[in-house]
Structure 1
Amino acid sequence: MIQENEDEIREAVEIEHSLDFFDAIKLYPKAIGWSTFFSLGVIMLAFDPQLLGNLYAMPAFQRDFGYKYEDSYIISAPWQTGLSMGNPVGQVLGALAAGYPMEWFGRKKTFSVCVIGTAAIVFIQFFARSLQVLLVGELLGGLILGAYVVIAPAYASEVCPVALRGTLTSYINLCFVIGQLIANGVTAGTSQLKNHWGYSIPFALQWFWVLLIIPGIPFAPESPWWLARKGKLEEAEHSLCRLASPQVNVKSTLAMIIETDRFEHEMEAGSTYLDCFRKANLRRTEIAVGVYSIQVLSGIYLINYGTYFFTLAGLPTQKAFDMGIGFLAVGFLGTCFSWILLQHFGRRRIYNVGLMILAILQLIIGALDCIPNYRHHTSVIWAQSSLMVIWNFFYDLSIGPVCFVIICEVSATKVRGKTIALATAVQAVLGIVMTVAIPYLINPDQADLRGKLGFFFGGLAFLCLIWSHFRVPETKGRTFEELDIMFERGVNTSEFASYKI
């Protein structure tokens, strides 16, 4: 019996390494479908803060919620900060809270409750007619939305083979872009409306995703890794059968899952938040938290203020909304191109090279803002705005999608949900800091820095590049058990790619 299990495990590992991307698509089409289904929640997560950032540039919203400043209306920096902070504050609490029901009740049930909760909270945002009520809606919404970015990558990494893991986990970033792109497209279309429907319609569209998700939830398979950890081996095997084609030997896959779980139990990986900081997992937690935090430190929160930034730079309102759509459209393309890079290059190389390019672009944007009589040079304004678009392309080609791949691959299976939750919470805390700071840094009645923020984020990005060079390992093509072994043996960061087990 022991020999039979060993043969099955060996078979599963050999298949994982020999399977190429296109063969994996043929063998696991249902896993791809259900992974993208669970990622729909991330679209809602991305839609909300992007929508709010665009509303600050919408005349109807400015008139109904703001105050008169010179010849126009604006939302004060304190209220911009408060409203924009509602979502990330909620995400901190929601992400950390999600780790518990995900472990107790599974990915599927946790996802179901979150979707129903989102449907209820959209009512608050839709009927809000004061900044105070809207703030409550944003805060409560963030509590639930924060769970989606924990559930989606955990589920994606647990239902697919190694050959698809990079693509399906990086797809989370594409969902962010899709949510932001839809928010920009909707607000560009409603920005010319003179009454409250200019901002009420975008809030109402969040119900569309709820109506799309709820009918499919009863048919979704649970994560086989979670079922195996709970000792529900028959259900885990049934789930694997539902995720894979009949040609796949699910018994050998289940044997590999059981063996990985046994090994993590031996190395005392644990399954609590405290275990994320124990010796067996501390390095892995640091890497997960680091790569996710770098998204904020390199300047991603400027995307939420993209349209507003373009108006302050000097573009007409409609041109700013159009530029905002183009801004995210190239991000969509960048994420799709990243899937090609992930098949041919390691995670570490894509991440580090991309981060270096982002730092350089930010510094150039800052330098352009120092040109004398900046506002009288239309070509400079367009050049700076275009560089922001290029920056977003390289972000979504590199550190945006690859971050989610690294987070899922470096975390131990027993604490994957909680490791992702911690990384999300820390990233959201940094997001709160940026949410507080950015309105004061870019608002015309405050520091009015505009593109000079490029110096700030470019400098931070270079510091992050130094850290990632020494700490982020290569995880491409490794099974979860192989990664467990390498972290347990303390393999040096630069040796991960070539290490032989």
Structure 2
Amino acid sequence: MYHIGNIYGITAISVIGGGLFGFDISSMSAILPTQQYRCYFNQGPKGPPYTDASEACSGPKPNVQGGITAAMPGGSFVGALISGYLTDKLGRKKAIQIGCMIWMIGSAISCASQNIGMLIVGRFINGLSVGICSAQVPVYVSELAPPSKRGRVVGSQQWAITWGILIMYYISYGCTFLDGPTAFRVPWGLQMIPAVILAIGILFLPESPRWLARHDRWEECQAVLTLVHGHGDPHSPFVKLELEEIKQMIEFERQNADVSVAELFRPRMLNRLHIGIFTQIWSQLTGMNVMMYYITYVFGMAGLTGNTNLIASSIQYVINVCMTVPALIWMDRWGRRPMFVIGALLMATWLFANAGLMASYGHAAPPGGLNNVAEQSWEITGKPAKAVIACTYLFVASYAPTWGPASWVYPPEVFPLRIRGKAVALTTSCNWIFNFALSYFVPPAFVSIKWKVYIVFGVFCIAMAIHTFFVFPETAGKTLEDVEEIFIAGVPAWKTKVEYSNVRRAEQGMLDPEKAQALEQRPERHENTQEIKV
């Protein structure tokens, strides 16, 4: 079968898996404030069932709405955990295809939901798919990408998420003008389309060369490296270098390590595990996904209602898409560490600013919340309200080129090949369990502690800036095998730096003299691998 060899073509298809998460976020955020949704799933005095869109329905109770929203990340937590077994056993491609099939089933159930219980089940099944794809798409792309482009192409998963959010938001917004349950059934049904495209498109992509090597399929491994990195030339110096480094790493692993989940918890791997887990935890504790799910609540507190609220909320999704682009272009030159530290400090600034504005110029909403929405329990008006909206936009503009893409790129880079699939599955599951907790926590938090929610997330951002500076080593501009050497040597995180120019020289055939000499001296056969003429 024909296989696409251009890394950007491979990326464009595979990161549709990230778009599934984006579709889910905005299909909820745009639907939440609509009368059609609130009346059909109402737990107040009017409804269910849906009767009249002109009636003021309060919708699900805050803790129930938190449960509906949290069902998807709850499923993603389970999906991410099982993805490690699927990807190591079946391969990166097949694991992603299984995720596509599960997404279609979940979307069908959500689309047909007759009650809150059925909606929760559909969203949980959707979450299984998102967990599998979000864990394994970065692994798959990182193992195919050349070092100088790895951040760019793996970070494209975040860009796909932002596009998914934007596209589905406007689809959902357009559907709000439809009558009755059709207003939310149509967008929830249309969610299936990207999964169909991904399931078909991935048939034309090559398998991960490192997964193939791990299973002693060396001829296929060399063929994939030749296709993607050698542009069809099997004698390319960079193909020879990468193949030799993969062989050397696998030989070392087989002689010195047992491959099991338990290895992640051994002393020599605990530091990496803690870094990978906190990368994903901190990305949630920035508060960004909360802002995406519940932005209509926040803008409702700032006095925006109806279509004005929905349109103003959509602007942050446009900002999210546009501001992710600089990271895709330059993150391999910037490095990961500056993105983590600077991004966290900027986000903390806007969060504290919002807290100060709401505390100084806002006041408690009437009983029951604004516009019969309990979560809108605080009110701010006039110029301070506009400042809150501006700070919210600036928060998104700070997250998009920093933590957004970097948090997906980083975990696959820090783990060795033998446990990369399982390790990234575990770290991504931590992302989703915190997403689950925050999705459930935020609606009642807006009711209980109101503007202090911003203080909570601002403190988290300060903590992550300090943590990443002292603990997270630089991985940009290095092969995955070179990153392994950083951890083995125990180099302090703040002493590591970007080595972009070195890998660019290697990819262009201008090998470092020491590496070139090492290649010439290496034998063409290894005890633990099949013979390959390189």
Q: TM-score, normalised by structure 1?
A: 0.89
For the pair 1:100 / 2:85, whether they are aligned, the reply is yes
When Rg is computed on C-alpha atoms for both structures, the one with the higher figure is: 2
Query: What is the identity, as a one-letter code, of the residue corresponding to 2:285?
Result: L
Number of the residue aligned with 1:258? 247
Query: What is the identity, as a one-letter code, of the residue corresponding to 1:438?
Result: V
Residue deviations 1:359-418, cap 9 Å, x none? 111000111101345546322222212211110111011111111222122121221122
CA contact (8 A) 1:470 1:493 kept: yes
Distance 1:141 1:66 in 2: 23
Query: What is the identity, as a one-letter code, of the residue corresponding to 2:490?
Result: G
How many residues are matched?
469
Number of the residue aligned with 2:483? 483
Matches within 5 A, 1:89-238: 89-238=74-223
Matches within 5 A, 1:77-476: 77-244=62-229, 245-247=231-233, 249=236, 250-268=239-257, 270-300=258-288, 301-373=290-362, 375=379, 377-442=381-446, 446-447=447-448, 449=450, 451-476=451-476
Distance 1:110 1:277 in 2: 25
Unaligned runs of 5+ in 2: 47-55, 364-378, 503-513, 515-534
Matches within 5 A, 1:32-47: 32-47=8-23
1:308/1:184 CA distance change after superposition, 3 Å: farther
Distance 1:69 1:437 in 2: 25
SS in 1 for 2:383: helix
Query: What is the identity, as a one-letter code, of the residue corresponding to 1:158?
Result: E
CA RMSD of aligned residues (A): 2.2
Displacement of 1:68 after TM fit?
4.1
CA contact (8 A) 2:333 2:498 kept: no
CA contact (8 A) 1:86 1:142 kept: yes
Distance 2:39 2:449 in 1: 21
1:230/1:373 CA distance change after superposition, 3 Å: closer
CA contact (8 A) 1:360 1:458 kept: yes
Distance 2:91 2:334 in 1: 33
Displacement of 1:261 after TM fit?
2.0
Query: What is the identity, as a one-letter code, of the residue corresponding to 1:441?
Result: A
Distance 1:121 1:137 in 2: 5
SS in 2 for 1:315: coil
SS in 2 for 1:74: coil
CA contact (8 A) 1:54 1:305 kept: no
| More helix as a share of residues | 1
Query: What is the identity, as a one-letter code, of the residue corresponding to 1:210?
Result: A
SS in 2 for 1:437: helix
CA contact (8 A) 2:14 2:202 kept: no
Displacement of 1:447 after TM fit?
2.2
Query: What is the identity, as a one-letter code, of the residue corresponding to 1:57?
Result: P
Unaligned runs of 5+ in 1: 1-27
Displacement of 1:52 after TM fit?
2.0
Distance 1:458 1:376 in 2: 20
Displacement of 1:100 after TM fit?
0.4
Distance 2:233 2:383 in 1: 59
Displacement of 1:112 after TM fit?
1.6
Distance 1:439 1:498 in 2: 41
Distance 1:349 1:107 in 2: 30
CA contact (8 A) 2:100 2:196 kept: no
CA contact (8 A) 2:106 2:124 kept: no
Deviates more, 1:363-372 or 1:153-162: 363-372
Residue deviations 1:319-364, cap 9 Å, x none? 1111221111111111101124414322111210111110111000
Q: TM-score, normalised by structure 2?
A: 0.83
Distance 2:456 2:120 in 1: 29
